[in-house]
Chain A
């Protein structure tokens, strides 16, 4: 996928002025935040489980090579195949090769962000294989020729009126009198439409929430059952997963499952958690004839041992974006690549480079809500700060910002001068703003005052007030 992360600012402006998008984004708060808060309140051990989850993943990352080799051994022992791929191109080619060998015309797909990362759908189409998204949200955005805007609710930016238009345009056999208003109407229509596609598919492609080293199993977590039908009914099952999805045992996966659905959708468990191990056994009545795991690196192995290693603990629950005020304001597409929100602001520059996506870590107020809800306790603000620093060191931020920072640091590293300057400025602004208590415009601050008023300072600096309180013996 071609990134537009560099144009984050323009993308964001566009998003803020898109009334339909703004209406759709209202659903983030009621849909996710409240449900998560409720379900977390119902599990006293939740905070302790976050520690355990973090520790499991840290253990895995420190021994990643070992666990990947065990995983491969066990997949092979169960009759499956593991394909190691360094780059998105290698992964795409491997998947196409499997499709070609099976003379596949259509492939059904369960939802996979890694498939987005490698641009799989476009590539398959270019090569004469038709990919069919089966997750309802993914199906909708495939009809709209859009990328997902959220990692677990890909069509959260779309309203039902828009979906009705898409269905009427694309489902040409649809009775014009058929009602398409309530969510139920769309769900039924998509369910009926996709049924035959599952059975006709030559290959079913899914992602994986976990890879289990102990058993060589891949695990998908869904609510719809689409991923299960994809992997059950396709004649071959291909799993595309990135390296860091590995956990040692079924018990370790169970611990992280307690965190995943609660953090994602506010459920205690998602409806379907399915463990796939190899192709159908000779005595089985159903299941795929082949089982392939395409393991993607794409820069992750190089993140180990760096200040960004913690990002590899991410389990893609989306709690960070569900609680991010910036995401809630601009939606996922503004971030310009596959992964939006706070986790995307760290992962995107890690995977496609600071030059391409170094601006994303600026899309944060550092309010810290992302870290406070992250089930894996990933220090997202800290890592965004590291990236801001890198952006600055590489000279990628705008001249104006650099000049401003240089000026600020000149004062900030000279305390006497800083105090003097702020005292003069506060005094001056305090007097000027006394009448209204705020400014509607101010030189050099138009970026702020063009959209809201700036409260006027009361005339004295923080330092002065602090010193005065200390002198009175009050608490600081």
Chain B
């Protein structure tokens, strides 16, 4: 008997039944096909985009992010330059390919000539990365990033500093709203919508503040292995 059959058999023996079939199995399939939300905390309820954005910014600061707000995507390069200069960081960034392409031709770095900008993933030698996010969760100040050709995961972890560009329209209340958008955006080609299934990227990263550890005498230290600083630029469009 294979280990698989043995383990499943042992589970069923302990539960006092055979494999699930018929109606009980159909109900479970249904539970997976149309995931229901459980209890959701009230703290984000009734807020409009502006309210959620303010809450997201507050929550981000609570978890030791720094936050900037700019009027448009055009203002992002200058905000990046100003941040690096303020923090006394080298004027070099690596940006996600998604920011170089973008729907509007990508970020225009021509007005920040002092900045050295490269595009791609990280080999661990870069000081600062600039990435987009998939969504931003106001409930806890959490960023949702998904891996893709144009959004490699290395940028989220390897550089010393991570700058995340969040568009206001990407801010949602609870985590479940982010999953809702995620399912819709990643619905299988040819399907009628998320209920026909969706494609998981290799990685989804939920990131809440910069890297830290409390492993030495319970004293919190930032920058354990991931970025020491997480700077969020919120774009008002």
Contact = CB atoms under 8 A, between A and B. Distances in A.
Given A63-B28, A249-B32, A160 B217 contact: yes
Interface string B58-70: 0100010000000
Given A45-B41, A191-B224, A251-B176, A272 B6 contact: no
Contacts of B210: 271
Interface stretch (A99-107, A277-285, A439-447): A277-285
Contact of A215 (B141, B200, B211, B224): B200
A187 B221 contact: yes
A66 B25 contact: yes
Contacts of A274: 203-206
Contact of B152 (A156, A223, A272, A285): A285
Interface in A48-66: 48-49, 52, 56, 62-66
B149 interface: yes
B7 A217 contact: no
A276 B152 contact: no
B109 interface: no
B215 A135 contact: yes
Contacts of A277: 200-204
Contacts of A295: 7
B110 interface: no
B216 A285 contact: no
A86 B10 CA distance: 10
A63 B20 contact: yes
B142 interface: yes
Interface in B211-236: 211-219, 221, 223-227
A199 B3 CA distance: 34
Contacts of A225: 157, 211, 224-227
B14 A251 contact: no
B77 interface: no
A251 B216 contact: no
Contacts of A284: 147-149, 152, 202
A68 B147 CA distance: 26
A328 to B, nearest CB: 13
A254 B212 contact: no
Given A135-B215, A183-B217, A280-B202, A272 B32 contact: no
Interface of B: 2-4, 6-8, 10-12, 14-16, 19-20, 25, 28, 31-32, 35-39, 41-43, 59, 63, 97, 120-121, 124, 140-142, 147-149, 152-154, 156-158, 175-176, 179, 200-219, 221, 223-227
